[in-house]
Structure 1
Amino acid sequence: MRDVRYARATAFASGDVRLRHRMHRGHVLGVVLLLLCAFWTATGAATATPAQASPQAADDTSQAAHLADRLRANPVYVTDQLPREIPHSTAPDFARLAKRTGVPTYVLVLPGQSTTNGDALLGAVHDRLGRDGLYVLVDYMGVTNAVAFGVRAPAADAETAALYELPYDAGPLRSFERFAEVVAQGGEKAAARAEAAREKYGSDGGEEPEQLYIGPADRENQSFLTGILVVGVPLLMLLLTAFVRRWRRRLPSARAAKPGSTKPRAAASRVPRGAVAGVALLTAVAIALTAWLTFDQTTSSAARTPTAADLSARVERVAARLKQDPVYTDPESPQVLDAGEKDRLRDRISEFGRSRSGGPVFVFVVPQMYEDESAGDPYVFAEAVHAKVGKDGVYVVADPLEGGISVVSYGLRLDNNHLLFDLPDSISDGDDSGESGESDGYRLSERLDRLMTFLDKTPRTDAPNSPDPDLKPEPIESHALRPLFSGDFWPGLLVGAFAALLVFAIVAGVLGIVGAVLRRRNPAPLPTAALPFEAPTDPSTAYLRRTAQTELSELARMFTEDQVPNPVGAGAEPLADIRAWDCFDSAMLLVDGDIDALADDDVDPASLVAVIVLARAGRAAFTGDTNNLCCGLNPLHGPAVSRHHLRVSGPAETVRRRLLPVCQPCRETAIVEPSTVHTLRMTLPPGQGGQGDGERMPYEEATGPLPAVRNGIPQLIDKVREFVSVR
């Protein structure tokens, strides 16, 4: 506008000059006055236009001109101010991705605060460059702005898709890659993709894209968890397998043979010794392999590791300009100092250099960010610039994005402590009243002028001094994650062992309680020596069913142990082997091959007693005891020790004496108190095997095979087989 108005004013003035030669001499004065008015108007218009323009517009124009020059040399420009996040050396990667869009693409990778209006900056750069294409602005987070000039490209939709589809840690390179991918799909597909991403990940969708990277703390957690599982799970398997195996053997429900079968389980079906240890070892290997494949992350960030050239590029750029001019403003950033303010600052610097104990002053208006080579520390940056410039003096770092000012003196007689601790906040941090801000450049010109006054009044020292020369930037953070099997993996092994023991203790306690309840409901068989004292003379049907199920289940369990009797009697104890098998087979015949049938009413009391006697005889055969006789007064008393003449009738009945086998307690009773022997004779409750009139009856009067027990176990076995075959 300024050039247009100036051209119009000049043309107008030139026209009047030509007209003057054709006019009458009498009108010379009027023409001169007219020319003076035209000149005044043109001059006023030319000077008023920049005064009325906003500072931001002027800054964008100067910033845009510099960026346009960079894009004229290369369509992809990556700033040197973000080496910790976007090293300058990544420019070829951005250029490679830019070719995928299918249209001329110009990429600017700048700090996020380089402009407050990205679209306006891209428009200004396009006007300066004069080339149509897709203009893209990228910061350390990703694509922030994209505008198409003179080409058909879904810039807005691609920007939306890249914003919503990727997590916040995707990084600028991946964000631009997604942007280029969507642009290449065309307008229709890009619009649909942007809408889908907005619906899924927008404020109404409620979903978030899954993060692509994990931090060092997450890797330590993964290592710790892996260590716990690698040791804890196999160890718990070993402990629980052995414990549960023993626990199940003690359970009444686990002592029975397979329902519906009269044959015991073969010993060959048992798990081979060492198999559990092998499975535990394979489990540990499988867990380690699965963890290695699942936790396969190798880096914690999308940022590339910068090279030495990336870290020194900005310092060298600033130092090279300071060698030519003591005032340097970063051309990539908004311009907060105009030409007049720079000239006044140079004059103040010259005055300070000529003053007593003064010296050179270098002012560089450059952003200070955590992503730069000095990690946002202005004193570290000043130290690096001083080393490159190679001249002592006062180095002033002014941040055009945040407005901060930092000062440090090298080799002058200025008190650095005074500069560091006594610099007024109004100079170092600006006006906190809210009247100053980014819109007016944080009043850097005014504050730098006050800084020069402050330097004039700074106390002098006796000798030149400099700050600590060992001031170093924060080390470049390595984004490589530690190996999975390191760090907290080793403590995890120990914790895994303790966790396995803790879980085992809890499980063992719970199973112990469950086992106690089950054993109380289904008690284990009584020892043989205790039978005469515990077995009732007048047992109830419930007692007989419970005892029969317990005894037969225990015999079936013994057949599942390693030493199964040989049915053909070819073992070391052939008679015992045959006896155990015959007893088990006969007892199973009475229940039709199903131990659970003992809980039904189909088995009468006499058969229940026969099952009990046979099961106990079979269990005794496992220990080598093949005694054929059991107590004739009460078969539930167990083995007999001898035969004895007994009076089996009551005092009011006709005297009846019989020669019966008796156990030791019954024999002693027959000798000491023979008149009371009849009270020891077992009677059966009413049932299918006895009389149906509701009265109890002596067991030897019952129908079925039970009365044969007085003659011995072999006779009982034969009677059972005969009874079952007839039945």
Structure 2
Amino acid sequence: MPRVSLRGRHLRGQRLRGRRLRGLHLRARGQHLHARRRPLLGVLATLCAALLLASGTPHPASAAAQDAGNDPARATTQAAALADLLRTNPVHVTDQLPRDVPRSAAPDFAKLAKRTGVPTYVLVLPSQDRGDRLLGAVHDRLGRDGLYVLVDDTGVSDAAAYGVRAPADDAFTVSLYELPYDAGPLLSFERFTDVIALGGKKAAERADAARKKSEAAGGDDVEKMHIDPVDRDNQSFVTGIALTGVPLLIILLSPYLRRWIRRQRGPSAKDPRAKDPSAQDPGAKKQQPSSPRRHFTPLRIEAGVAVLAAGAVALGAFLAFHEDSARTSPPPTASDLSSRVERVAAGLKQEGQANGAVYSDPESPRPLDSAQRRELLDRIGKFDRGPIRIALVPQLTEDESGGETEIFVEAVRQKMGAKGAQGVYVVADPLGGSIDVVTYDVRIDANRIAFDLPDSIRYGDDDDRSADHRLGERLDDLMTFLDKSPRSARAETSSLGMDDAPDPVEDEALRPLFSGDFWPGLMVGALAAGLLFGIVAAFLGLLRLSVPGLRRTPATTVAADGTLGFTAPPDPSAGFLRRTARDELDSLAREFDPDAALRSAVRTRVYDCLDTATLLADRDPDGHVDDDATPADLAAAIVLARVGRSALKGNDKPCCALNPLHGPSTGWRDAQYSPDDQRLRTIPVCAQCRVLVEVQPRLAYTLRLTLPGAGRSERVPYEDAPGPLPAIANGVPQLIRQVREYAGVQ
């Protein structure tokens, strides 16, 4: 059912956090073991062992038996059952952890146990509270010397050597400190046996080195070996960010940086007129320019690089994040998943009486003494609404049902066949202390059991610290609760089964890399690329403004004869006019030296141009273009500044009639100046405009300068613009006079 499946996944999702806590607990215990190993105590222990062996006296009773109180049988029953299992096979793997340690992995543990060189007895069990006492009790029951190792779902949890030379504490310390908490039980036991095989001296050195390394790292855990679903989500998210962010950043930033660098370097020092014979000789024949090749333009190259970058990111992420599962052990087989269910079902049948049965898991602590068991069976025999079957078995997220008690009970009931079709099934966890009840075909209100069962029965008291979780008393209270429960009108049956349990392989499988958080990552990557582009552009803009040497060089070309040529679009924006006016004023002020040896006429012309250009663009003057300067004023300032710079180079010709921003002309040509006037007029044109005029004079008007108008898309021909700019048609002196009148300066 969906409810069970989701809960199972939730419980499985909490396992990694539990493993971390368990790892920290084991690490603290390892430090305690290290603190216990004092040289003097080691000598005394050796002497005592020698005396015991010499006298032939048996080993002392285990601490578990000493703590048993009035009923030592209850404390040693688990140890006796485990000793019987080890007597048959020195390596026992429980059937209660098939999702983490399947029983089919027992041959691997047995193979590793042979590396130690001493008799080795391995118990793979659910996590035990006092594993050291359990190992001592098992050794006393088995009566064989050797190395005893206890392994749980996180790794080696306890180890002790009895009558053999084996550095158990050092091997445990190494497996604890050198491996991450998610290494898994099999790898942890492998590291443990490797250190045992080194011998006492080398094992102690390695343990000290591992401990010191951990202390130097501040106690931080070793980097984990496997990823979990959260890590996969992070990988998918980062992959999505990189897959869109990197290509978009290339497409956005590369052209901007290319233009920025070109502006700093300035244009090529060669003027097109140097390669154009007609620029030097107006009578020379103009050759038709060859069509440019556009197969490998910078934009296409950058787009290709962006595509390659996207492919590299996708391939690199696929190769780097190749994990498809979070499993630390081989997947369980069908036999692994059904072994415990069959065992419990067989145990309930064997213990079964007319009205029910009580089955205690032999691998777990026995929470019921003989008197409690007899009393419980007596109350079960008096229950008149159907048989009651009680299973004292752990319920773990690592078991076959994923910790879902109802699924486990349904599987046991099916294995019992017709004998177990009806009744009340009670599952009491001897490790966790919880009690769950499931009913089948009995006239008891299932809702009352599900919702009204007191927490004191279901979970026990919060302040209860007893080893047996007071299960005997709570089961007795449960029987009282069932006796007092009202009869229901009809028999109710649970509909859950093993098919509802989360699949162990699917549960540990990681979702594909290009799924889940990958899609939000794509959007975040696009936003991040735009944000980073804005940051870089703002930084470079501030850098260019704050560092005078990085201010953009005006679009200027130098011909072979030393004269200057200038470029500008026929429809410049207000931003272009503002930037170019600032750069041209800076360049003219930097190039003009009033004390230089210049002809008087040239000095006067340059000074007038600088003065009037400043009046138009920077009236303060504070070195910055005025915010309220109009596009027409900025264009006039550019024209005056470029005329002044050309005058310094000895060029005092009229400005280009089509676009005065191009500076002085290089010759006169017949051209159609206006789209409404079909006549060809002889006008001065620059080298840049002359290329089109000589080939298509009827299209010359398309090069005519227009300025931004009042509307957003409105353009005004420069000769119709407000202000002094139209006076350039009558020559530079007339423009200078008009500017001074316009500015109110005589």
Over 3 Å counting, the alpha-carbon distance change for 1:618 and 1:279 in structure 2 is farther
Matches of 1:422 and 1:498 in 2, distance apart? 53
- Structure 2 stretches of 5 or more lacking a match? 1-64, 276-291, 352-356, 565-586, 603-644, 657-661, 669-684, 687-728, 738-746
Percent of aligned pairs with the same amino acid? 52
Q: 2:557 aligns with which of 531, 555, 558?
A: 555
Matches of 1:522 and 1:145 in 2, distance apart? 72
- Show the counterpart of 2:348: 322
Q: 2:375 aligns with which of 337, 344, 361?
A: 344
**CA displacement at 1:64 relative to structure 2:** 1.5
Q: 2:127 aligns with which of 85, 94, 112?
A: 112
Q: Report the more deviating stretch, 81-90 or 485-494.
A: 485-494
Over 3 Å counting, the alpha-carbon distance change for 1:438 and 1:244 in structure 2 is same
Matches of 2:307 and 2:148 in 1, distance apart? 59
- Show the counterpart of 2:42: none
**CA displacement at 1:437 relative to structure 2:** 4.2
Q: 1:393 aligns with which of 411, 423, 427?
A: 423
Q: 2:404 aligns with which of 377, 383, 395?
A: 377
Q: Report the more deviating stretch, 85-94 or 281-290.
A: 281-290
**CA displacement at 1:252 relative to structure 2:** 5.9
- Show the counterpart of 2:466: 438
Q: 1:478 aligns with which of 472, 493, 507?
A: 507
- 2:140 matched to 1:138? no
Over 3 Å counting, the alpha-carbon distance change for 1:478 and 1:614 in structure 2 is farther
Alignment length, in residue pairs?
517
Q: 2:484 aligns with which of 432, 437, 457?
A: 457
Over 3 Å counting, the alpha-carbon distance change for 1:581 and 1:168 in structure 2 is same
Alpha carbons 2:182, 2:225 under 8 Å: kept: yes
1:280-679 correspondence runs (5 A): 280-325=306-351, 326-352=357-383, 357-390=384-417, 391=420, 392-431=422-461, 434=463, 437-439=465-467, 441-469=468-496, 472-476=500-504, 478-512=507-541, 554-556=556-558, 580-583=559-562, 604-606=596-598, 612-613=648-649, 626-627=666-667, 665=731
User: For 1:118-149, what per-residue CA distance to the aligned partner results, in whole angstroms no more than 9, with x for missing partners?
Assistant: 22221222232233322110111111111122
Computing the radius of gyration from Cα coordinates, the structure with the larger value is 1
Over 3 Å counting, the alpha-carbon distance change for 1:603 and 1:183 in structure 2 is farther
Alpha carbons 1:199, 1:205 under 8 Å: kept: no
What amino acid is aligned across from residue 330 of structure 1 in structure 2? D
Alpha carbons 2:544, 2:552 under 8 Å: kept: no
Over 3 Å counting, the alpha-carbon distance change for 1:514 and 1:144 in structure 2 is closer
User: For 1:39-95, what per-residue CA distance to the aligned partner results, in whole angstroms no more than 9, with x for missing partners?
Assistant: xxxxxxxxxxx9995368544421122112212222211111122222222222222
Matches of 1:442 and 1:59 in 2, distance apart? 14
Alpha carbons 2:243, 2:525 under 8 Å: kept: yes
TM-score by length of 1: 0.62
Matches of 2:257 and 2:543 in 1, distance apart? 12
Alpha carbons 1:367, 1:401 under 8 Å: kept: yes
- Show the counterpart of 2:677: none
Alpha carbons 1:135, 1:146 under 8 Å: kept: yes
What amino acid is aligned across from residue 561 of structure 2 in structure 1? D
- Show the counterpart of 1:93: 108
**CA displacement at 1:194 relative to structure 2:** 1.1
Alpha carbons 1:583, 1:618 under 8 Å: kept: no
User: For 1:175-230, what per-residue CA distance to the aligned partner results, in whole angstroms no more than 9, with x for missing partners?
Assistant: 11221222222222211121122122249834331122222232222222222222
Matches of 1:448 and 1:494 in 2, distance apart? 57
Alpha carbons 1:330, 1:365 under 8 Å: kept: yes
Alpha carbons 1:555, 1:618 under 8 Å: kept: no
1:110-259 correspondence runs (5 A): 110-113=125-128, 116-202=129-215, 205-249=218-262, 251=263, 253-255=265-267
What amino acid is aligned across from residue 482 of structure 2 in structure 1? L
Over 3 Å counting, the alpha-carbon distance change for 1:584 and 1:252 in structure 2 is farther
**CA displacement at 1:160 relative to structure 2:** 0.6
Matches of 2:67 and 2:245 in 1, distance apart? 76
Alpha carbons 1:555, 1:619 under 8 Å: kept: no
Matches of 1:245 and 1:474 in 2, distance apart? 56
Matches of 2:218 and 2:387 in 1, distance apart? 59
Partner SS, residue 323 of structure 2: coil
Matches of 2:461 and 2:241 in 1, distance apart? 56
Over 3 Å counting, the alpha-carbon distance change for 1:210 and 1:416 in structure 2 is same
**CA displacement at 1:321 relative to structure 2:** 1.0
Partner SS, residue 396 of structure 2: coil
Partner SS, residue 143 of structure 1: strand
Q: Report the more deviating stretch, 233-242 or 77-86.
A: 233-242
Alpha carbons 2:411, 2:497 under 8 Å: kept: no
User: For 1:561-616, what per-residue CA distance to the aligned partner results, in whole angstroms no more than 9, with x for missing partners?
Assistant: xxxxxxxxxxxxxxxxxxx323369xxxxxxxxx99x8799994439989832588
- Show the counterpart of 2:283: none
What amino acid is aligned across from residue 129 of structure 1 in structure 2? L
What amino acid is aligned across from residue 338 of structure 1 in structure 2? D
Alpha carbons 2:406, 2:496 under 8 Å: kept: no
What amino acid is aligned across from residue 451 of structure 1 in structure 2? L
**CA displacement at 1:284 relative to structure 2:** 2.5
User: For 1:22-42, what per-residue CA distance to the aligned partner results, in whole angstroms no more than 9, with x for missing partners?
Assistant: xxxxxxxxxxxxxxxxxxxxx
- Show the counterpart of 1:643: none
Matches of 1:415 and 1:155 in 2, distance apart? 54
- 2:100 matched to 1:64? no
Alpha carbons 1:337, 1:445 under 8 Å: kept: yes
